[in-house]
Structures are given as C-alpha cells and as structure tokens.
Amino acid sequence: MEHRTTAIEFPTQTRAHIALACRDVAQSQAFYEQLFNLQPTKVRDGYAKFEVLEPPLNLTLNYSPDSPKQHMPAHFGIQVKSTAAVLERRQAMARANIDARTEEGVGCCYAIQDKVWFADPDGNQWEVFVVTQADIPEHSQASQALPPVGQAGGASEQAKAGNESEPSCCPPTCCT
C-alpha cells in the first residue's frame, strides 16, 4: 500500500468513527446537531457527516430504508467531567423537544455515575455521563432521578417514581 497522509485535519492522533444507518437522515441530522451542539461538516443526499472535536469522533449518517433497530452495541456515550455538563446537555436537548431519561448516582459498569439518556430517531441510545465514584463492587445499582429540567436541588418524587421501572445502566447480560 502506498504511504499517504490524511486529507482531513483533526487535533488528536486518532478518533472514533461511527456510521449509523438512518431511515430519515434530515431528522437524525437535527438530533445530532443538538446532541453535539454542532453543524455537520458535509451534507449530501442521504448523508451527513459530523466531525466532532469533543469527544473526537467522525460520525456519519447514511440513508437506509430498512434501518435496523439497535441490538449491538448496547448504547453509545459521551463522558463529560461534571454533573453540570450532564445537566447542560439535558437542558439543550429539552429546548429542542428531545425527551430524556435521567439518572443520578446510578451504579453502572462498577462505577457511580450521573447521566442522561437520549434516543435518536432510529432508536440508537446515547448517554451523556460523569463518573462520580471510580470503583464499586457491583456492576449495577438502582439510580435516583435528576431534578426536572429547570429545577435545582433534589429530584421530585414523580421523577423518582418514573425511573423505578427503567433498567439501570447496561446489565451484565445486555451484551450476551
């Protein structure tokens, strides 16, 4: 293979690439514009590309009339450094009328996390999360809801009740 260098500049040595099949690229594009707070770098008929600096990611949306429901991977995520950043993303998505499921103090993957979940138009699950305790002995623990958008302080009883039936994190059996 002939030695060549990249025609696309990005500030890190590597970045992840995810190509998603979408039934409606325009609808998915609107979702990802909100999730990443970024406009796509390339848009063509049935295609949109996002070159995200934080986190370093090359995400493409590709039209597929038979976009499969997500089975693997279990979900996608964006790790941030504070609960404030989690809440900021949740509020931005709420302003765009994108529903969220929130969790506070959830035990997930042997760590304690605060997080918010979104589903893109094709059902792909995305979490924005912060790890608040790096190591716990259990894979999963029940969570508490974060306060409703626009409220400070503790979670409402209604929000807590609404989360009790939601599965926490990704159970150990999710990927088998």
Which CATH number does the domain 76-163 belong to among 3.40.35, 1.10.1060, 3.10.180, 3.30.530?
Answer: 3.10.180
One fold for 16-63 and 76-163: yes
pTM score of the predicted model: 0.67
Dump pLDDT digits (tens) for 63-81: 888 766 656 566 788 888 8
Dump pLDDT digits (tens) for 2-33: 767 666 677 876 677 788 888 999 999 999 99
Cα separation, 59 vs 16, whole angstroms: 8
Cα separation, 92 vs 87, whole angstroms: 9
Bridge-partner residues for 117, per DSSP? Answer: 101, 127
Cα separation, 119 vs 100, whole angstroms: 8
82 pLDDT more than 70: yes
Q: Where are the domains of the chain?
A: 16-63, 76-163
> Quick one: which of 151, 165, 75, 77 has its CA closest to 114?
77
H or E stretch including 51? Answer: strand 47-52
CATH architecture of 16-63: Roll (3.10)
Which pair of tokens denotes residue 31? 């979702």
pLDDT at 29: 97
Sequential DSSP letters for 82-116? -HHHHHHHHHHHHHTT---EEEEEEEETTEEEEEE
Q: What is the mean pLDDT of residues 26-53?
A: 93
